[in-house]
Each structure stands twice: as C-alpha cells, then as structure tokens.
Amino acid sequence: AQTVTQSQPEMSVQEAETVTLSCTYDTSESDYYLFWYKQPPSRQMILVIRQEAYKQQNATENRFSVNFQKAAKSFSLKISDSQLGDAAMYFCAYRPRGSGTYKYIFGTGTRLKVLA
Amino acid sequence: DTEVTQTPKHLVMGMTNKKSLKCEQHMGHRAMYWYKQKAKKPPELMFVYSYEKLSINESVPSRFSPECPNSSLLNLHLHALQPEDSALYLCASSQDPGRGVYPQHFGDGTRLSIL
C-alpha cells in the first residue's frame, strides 16, 4: 500500500528565515506525482508546488522549492524568507500516474508557525 | 479567489434531519471529490466522480449519498447523521488525472455540526 509520512507534527520558523518540512513516501510505482498543499486557518487547501517523479529537476515556485530524492522516496519542502502568511498546516500528497488514478494519498500534516 | 464554491459554509443539523451540501466548479474539470476532514487531520477521501459517474466510494456509510447532476455540480445528501460525522467537508475538482500532473482545486469547505 502506498503511504505518505510527515514526521514533524509542528515546526516553527522566525520571520524571514528558511524552514524545511519533510515528507517521505512508500510506493512500488515508478511514475507518480507529488504535491505540497497548504491549509491556513481559513480552511481552503491551496496547492503550493507539484513534482513529477520522472523529472529529476526539483520544482520551484517563488520562495517555495522542493528537494526530491526519488531513490530515498523523500520530498521535502523548503520555504525561504518565511512570511507571517506562511503559517498554516502543510500536507504532502502522492498520486500514481495513469488513467483512472484519482486517489490522492495525504500525509498527516505539519503545522508551521511563523514567529514575528 | 475560490474557484470551487461550496454551500453552505456552516451547517448545524439534528440527527433526524435531511440536508444537502453543494459544490460547484466552472473550470471544466471532469473529476470531483468529497473529503471529510477532522481537526488537525488530513482530508479523508469519501467519493470520487469521474465524468459524472461514481468511480470511488471509500466504504462510506449510506447516510451519506453523493450525486453528480452534471459536470459542474456535486451534491452530498445527508440523512440520519451521527455526532461523529461532525467535521469539515471539503469538495475538490481536477482535470482528468490520467492526462497529467493536474492538482486538485479545493473549496472552502462546509463546517458540519451534528447535534
């Protein structure tokens, strides 16, 4: 069975500093997609960044970047220049590639606090 | 801006009531999802509709009844719910996942409380 593990239930970072959230996953598939979602107290889940497993280059979206290590099945999220608005629950998610693969597997989440 | 619209935002109902949650998207997405989320937990998948047909039912109790009247609308009919069903119910939509790395787009959710 495919699983996603986020080993850090809570993290804190000082405003303007950098923080890394960890995510590991277990799968026997060779082709899949990985996502990081952010859920602020306002409740809406918002896509932060996505990665295709067959692409070796790490995805980057402005202050957000990932360190994708396929062999280690690791997909960490780095947030640079942290801002107060980054405070939220962050969920790592996995989905196999292929038609009919609608099920996303979510990790348990990491609550990020940003300190002023 | 939320591209997936859920109504109502809050719902309080008794265990004998019948109510419905509504979800709407106009992005042309052909996959729509219902999730249940408890506080500080990840979303739990309940149902998936693909091209208006139910493709996944995660062994959800029959007191939850999904409906997809057309490609833009998704309903969740509720009847005889239990207190443990109190949660945030999230709707999401996506392009056909089989065609690429399309993420899900989520609504703001409906906060449901069962008295």
| Mean pLDDT of successive 10-residue stretches along chain A, which has 116 residues | 93 97 94 94 89 90 95 97 96 84 89 96
What is the model's pLDDT at position A42?
75
Q: How many residues can be counted in chain A?
A: 116
More confident residue, B10 or A42: B10
Cβ burial of B115 (10 Å; 0-12, 13-18, 19+) is exposed
Rounded CA-CA distance A103/A35 in Å is 13
Using CA atoms in the order A70, A46, A91, B20, what is the torsion angle rounded to 10 degrees?
-130
Rounded CA-CA distance B104/B45 in Å is 12
Question: Do residues A55 and A45 make contact, with C-beta atoms less than 8 angstroms apart?
Answer: no
What is the model's pLDDT at position B90?
97
What is the model's pLDDT at position A103?
84
Rounded CA-CA distance A17/A25 in Å is 27
CA distance B28 to chain A (A): 16
* Percent of chain B at pLDDT exceeding 90: 79
Rounded CA-CA distance B85/B100 in Å is 34
Question: Do residues B102 and B2 make contact, with C-beta atoms less than 8 angstroms apart?
Answer: no
- Are A52 and B105 an interchain contact pair (Cβ–Cβ within 8 Å)? no
Rounded CA-CA distance A46/A90 in Å is 9
- Confidence band, pLDDT 50/70/90 cuts, at residue B13: very high
* One-letter amino acid of B47: F
Mutation for testing the A interface, residue in B32, B101, B105 having most A CBs under 10 Å: B101
Cβ-based contacts under 8 A for chains A and B: 61
What is the model's pLDDT at position B12?
95
Residues B32-57: what's their mean pLDDT?
Answer: 94
Residues B62-88: what's their mean pLDDT?
Answer: 95
